[in-house]
Amino acid sequence: MDTTLQDPSPAFGRGDPIVGQLLDGRYRVDARIAVGGMATVYRAMDTRLDRVLALKVMHPALATDASFVERFIREAKSVARLAHPNVVAVFDQGAQGAYVYLAMEYVAGCTLRDVLRERGALQPRAALDILEPVLAALGAAHLAGFVHRDMKPENVLIGDDGRVKVADFGLVRAVGAVTNTTGTVLGTVSYLAPEQIEHGTADTRVDVYACGVVLYEMLTGTKPHTGDSPAQVIYQHLNEDVPPPSATVPGLAAGLDALVASATARNPELRPFDAVALLADTRAAHAGLTDAQLDAVPPQALPGAGAGDRTGGEDRTSVIPRVLPPGQGTAHHTSRLEMPPPEPPRQERRGPLRRGPGRGMLAAVVAVLLVLGVGAGVWYINSGQFTRVPSLLGQTERTARQRLSDAGLELKRVKHAYSDEVERGKVVGSDPKSGARIRGNGSVTITVSRGPEIVKVPDLRGVALAAARQTLKERGLVAGMVTREFSEEFARGDVIRTDPEAGTGRHPDSAVALVVSKGSPVDVPDVTGLSVQDATDALDGEGLKVEVLPGRVSSPEAEGDIARQSPGQGAQVAEGDTVTLTVSKGPRMIDVPDVTGKDVDEATRLLKAAGFEVKVDRPFLSFSDEIADQSVDGGDRAPEGSTITIKTKGL
């Protein structure tokens, strides 16, 4: 729905029967903000929470249509699940009589359409600063399983505080849901992806396509496809690539052209998968531009001739007949084969670079030529000469770029396509083709092979890990998670198996998990109590490495012997693994408690609590439990862990 959440003029909404009413006993409707084809938006006051909000009220004539009401409710539930700072929040949903409404966050400001209508083309920095939060909002929706399906400047709100928010999730659908069975599609014709028009399908990539169109519009001040009728625009969506923005605004960075081309690829398989991926590409493109490229000032449009000047049917969310393949749909549907191409759109786009040079422009050119002298004039004349596109087939992308540069030609765009004949990363075609005549300052699009559409996982058993990774890369696959396990069959560091297994078909760039051998298992011997040298020799003999930790610890072992080891005795490790050793500084000397006169049980308890082992000595025919003597007198010191002998009284 085309709406603008901004302060209305005093007269706007006068005579509207809902203005001044208290809707549902809670929402006081103060003013009408905007009207769309399916709903009207009002500024209202939530009298319970005392806050200003926007009420989106479905037109009463549509409230009887269950499908439209279901859309309204779906929008409320979908947006409520997002809770993203760049999404216009929905607070409540309800109905009163013929009025079905959503209570939404009120954004004081304007829409991106208002900005484009007022200013025309934007500087690249401003365009990217608007696009990134839009993609963040859509990325959250895509990760939550939703597709917006109606992205356009009218649904991008820019608050007075500079915040950017995405509005109107009225056409939202779950990813993978059936989106059309009747031969029609809901949407805005200027931003519909080709697959929406032709097949009625809508996944995350239709939002990516629409965002690419919006970026083009922000950079140039015009839409990429225009015409006197929706049919002309639809025809262009299906049959023509979105042109590079620099064709309309010369001087724009090549990175911006590439970003638009990637997002608006007619083949959805060649677009970023979702808004999250496009956001990453956008941030990378943003980071790759210089300040001069980001702040390039676009040519000013004629007054009133900005992108928002066309307010025809292609800017409205509407029900659009799909272009159906022959034999599908009902008799009144027009098949694609039967639909003649519409008359080419008249070249009357108003906006940047659409007017003649004028006296001022001619004077500027003459002045520059006079300053630069004859050389500049010669360059200008020679730039019209022709050259031939060099041979590019089978070359790497890097070599193709260099050959075009050497020929004085510009690389316009790099596309990617599957190929069973040309190996991955090599050029499979160009436009114009190799050998074609082209102006010396012209540009060429190359298509680089992605390899076969289905790649078989190679047999990597027994291959070293580094070589296995390289093999996967050459086949167009990616080495995934690496796990390790013991193996008697495969040498340490070699691949045992892959997941998926060898011979399985996968799409290019799919990940393949690798299980790598740790070699045969080695049982760790017990070296505690041995000297450092003896312990090292024993571990070396098992093919293990030794690390002796600095410092020593008290232990029952003699000073200089091994006090403890890690891993311990009996643990299984791989050949070449490291065992750490800690050296003893001898036992700790502690006070011996005096237990004479106590019974055996209490004496034993006291000595063990102090850290000693206990041995009881009973004289022959002695029946007493009273301790008469102990091997170390009470109060003396003895090594911790040593044995104290206690002797009971005799006859």
- Look at residue 535 in the predicted model and tell me its pLDDT: 93
**Higher pLDDT residue, 280 or 385?**
280
φ, ψ dihedrals at 386, nearest 5°: -105, 155
- Is pLDDT above 70 for 304? no
SS (H, E, C) 110-140: EEHHHHHHHHCCCCHHHHHHHHHHHHHHHHH
Position 96 confidence tier, pLDDT thresholds 50, 70, 90: confident
357-401 pLDDT tens trace: 333 333 333 333 333 333 332 222 233 345 778 888 888 999 989
Burial letters 70-94, b for 16+ CB under 10 A, else e: ebbebbbebbeebebebbbbbbbbe
The C-alpha angle 142, 148, 152, rounded to 5 degrees, equals 125
Query: What's the one-letter identity of residue 632?
Result: V
The answer to whether 351 and 305 are in contact (CB under 8 A) is yes
Q: Round the average pLDDT of the chain to a whole number and report it.
A: 80
- Is pLDDT above 90 for 227? no
Q: How far apart are CA 420 and CA 424, in angstroms?
A: 9
Mean pLDDT of 260-277: 93
Query: What's the one-letter identity of residue 89?
Result: A
Please identify every residue annotated as catalytic: 150
For the chain, domains (ranges, CATH) are 1-106 (3.30.200.20), 111-321 (1.10.510.10), 377-449 (3.30.10.20), 455-517 (3.30.10.20), 521-584 (3.30.10.20), 589-648 (3.30.10.20)
386 Cβ contact partners less than 8 Å away, ≥ 6 residues apart: 437, 438, 439, 440
- Look at residue 16 in the predicted model and tell me its pLDDT: 80
- Is pLDDT above 80 for 207? yes
Position 320 confidence tier, pLDDT thresholds 50, 70, 90: low
503-523 pLDDT tens trace: 998 888 888 999 999 888 889
Q: How far apart are CA 650 and CA 626, in angstroms?
A: 10
Q: Which two tokens stand for residue 470?
A: 């390289």
The answer to whether 96 and 18 are in contact (CB under 8 A) is no
| Rounded alpha-carbon distances, angstroms, from residue 567 to 499, 528, 537, 564 | 31, 12, 16, 9
The answer to whether 272 and 278 are in contact (CB under 8 A) is yes
575-625 pLDDT tens trace: 888 999 999 998 888 999 999 999 999 999 999 999 899 999 988 776 788
The answer to whether 170 and 120 are in contact (CB under 8 A) is no
Helix/strand/coil percentages in the chain, nearest 5: 30, 25, 45
DSSP element (H, E) containing 379 = helix 374-382
3-state secondary structure of 461: coil
- Look at residue 365 in the predicted model and tell me its pLDDT: 33
Q: How far apart are CA 306 and CA 462, in angstroms?
A: 65
CA–centroid distance for 69 within its chain: 33
Q: How far apart are CA 135 and CA 590, in angstroms?
A: 71
Q: Which two tokens stand for residue 359?
A: 């006296």
- Look at residue 307 in the predicted model and tell me its pLDDT: 43
